[in-house]
Chains A and B, each alone.
Chain A
């Protein structure tokens, strides 16, 4: 490898409630990462309000772009591609990033790359370590719970997903019942460390031999238990409640993921998404994988905590792989709020 030119990508992410821009070198090295979060705003409403999110994104889009370039000590002429999340997500929110990236591409003549948000979350791992393929990813966030097979850096297939609520969504919903501010995941995780699994909530679909999930039954069981206790003026230990809920979520995620690792024998195991920051889940997966027979143990890459949430660096990482494959977008690129990774053929049967 002589004189291989560095590839620098300026990436945008605005699919939900963070506006982010980042400069990433060679898909591996973060040269700058700016994240403007709107959490304070949406806490007023107990969850993300799409129109409010869109309004906040446009307030900061030019500033964060300039900051990302400045922090990386680069100018537009140093950028090889402009990348942007074009879905899935909130359409109005996505459109700020997409419009900004396209305008930047037009103004500079730099090529454009559209990135799937989920592919981005999974590629946050690439910012930590090189991924050996095939790889298997557990993608868990407020909007998604999926087991994804990575055949190579750009060919990702869903082998299992949730039939109803996403895991992160369940956290937020039970958080609301417990009076925890949105987003609830971090607090529930902390409480869970202090409690015991005493309630034995249901582990839905844990025995079924596919890789699908369901969390709405668990959520309902939790809420019923809580409200029943309230009616009879019984005080439940919130730490035990959190621990029991979290144990049920993690049991199902870990069991199904380990089964998928046994079937697909990936060289790397990756976690991605906001719930990948959950300490309970990280420990459990590390532990389960360490207990596998040696020849079945993949390399484990858990992204840095600050890269589990939405950020543009992960989009820059994924975009680098698409750049290598010459997968560019044109000026007609549009936001696709329900964009999905393709399903593996066995899922479609």
Chain B
């Protein structure tokens, strides 16, 4: 199965071609500032270099979130359209699972996170088990304050007799002093591990359940501030988004 995968979730723009479980090619633009302009040309380039047409791709995969809201929408819109038009599979993969998949360590808790500023993180924890489809989520992806995240990590390690934690992603180094207080031995991901790789998204996508392109949406992990303020002010319940959009 030929899989084209991409991540526009962080400032690393990544595109990859996989054939079953093998990564054939991966292109990265580190610290890219303009995913909108660069994504399609990068896809075009990787396909041309491997003599493939978009229509020959069997499955499209994308980092579904968390990540930059605008960035996520660029990638998700792109694969939604590809899959919808070409009648192919589409799969959304957790950005955090993809980060965790860059760590091969076993018996180690892998905490994957994206800096959400003010000591908050979009984060989740994963563990490599004996399977061929990738790290398994043990602390769900969410929007956590660093203190909340670290107590969940400490609790999980205590309950499961884990003695090592690896923090991978962005913004964890500045928490070094706080992390030390957990009294669990830890390390940080390498520069390479700390960026999202589309090739790993492709690998995770191989065994994932395909989504309906119409239903595939970014996993923001947070409501907009306007909705939170409205909810707090009016006490009204959040309704499904479809209640608010109507064809005229």
Chain A residues in the interface with B (C-beta under 8 A): 19, 34-38, 40-41, 44-45, 49, 51-52, 54-56, 58-66, 76, 91-92, 95-96, 98-100, 102-104, 106-108, 331-335
Contact = CB atoms under 8 A, between A and B. Distances in A.
Q: Is the interface of A mostly helix, strand, loop or mixed?
A: helix
Given A61-B81, A98-B36, A92 B245 contact: no
A68 to B, nearest CB: 11
Contact of B70 (A41, A92, A333): A92
A36 B248 CA distance: 6
Interface string B26-41: 0000000010111111
A103 B246 contact: no
Interface string B84-113: 111000000000000000000000000000
12 contacts: A36-B248, A41-B241, A51-B225, A54-B73, A58-B73, A61-B77, A62-B81, A95-B70, A99-B39, A100-B80, A103-B80, A107-B82
Interface stretch (B125-133, B137-145, B166-174, B210-218): B210-218
Given A62-B80, A102-B40, A334-B37, A36 B246 contact: yes
Contact of A55 (B80, B86, B241, B243): B241
Contacts of B220: 55
A106 B248 contact: no
Nearest to B8: A99
Interface of B: 34, 36-41, 43-44, 54-55, 69-70, 73-74, 76-82, 84-86, 213-214, 217-218, 220, 224-227, 230, 234, 241-248
Given A35-B247, A40-B244, A106-B82, 16 more contacts: A34-B247, A35-B248, A36-B245, A38-B245, A54-B69, A58-B76, A60-B245, A61-B77, A62-B213, A62-B214, A92-B69, A95-B70, A100-B77, A103-B81, A104-B85, A107-B55
Contacts of A51: 69, 224-226
Nearest to B42: A331
A60 B73 CA distance: 13
A207 to B, nearest CB: 41
B245 A54 contact: no
Contacts of B82: 103, 106-107
Contacts of B38: 332
Nearest to A17: B245
B81 A100 contact: yes
Contacts of A107: 54-55, 81-82, 85-86
Contact of A99 (B34, B77, B234): B77
A104 B37 CA distance: 15
Given A62-B213, A103-B82, A334-B34, A56 B73 contact: no
B70 A103 contact: no
A55 B242 CA distance: 11
Contact of A106 (B44, B84, B234): B44
Contacts of B230: 44-45
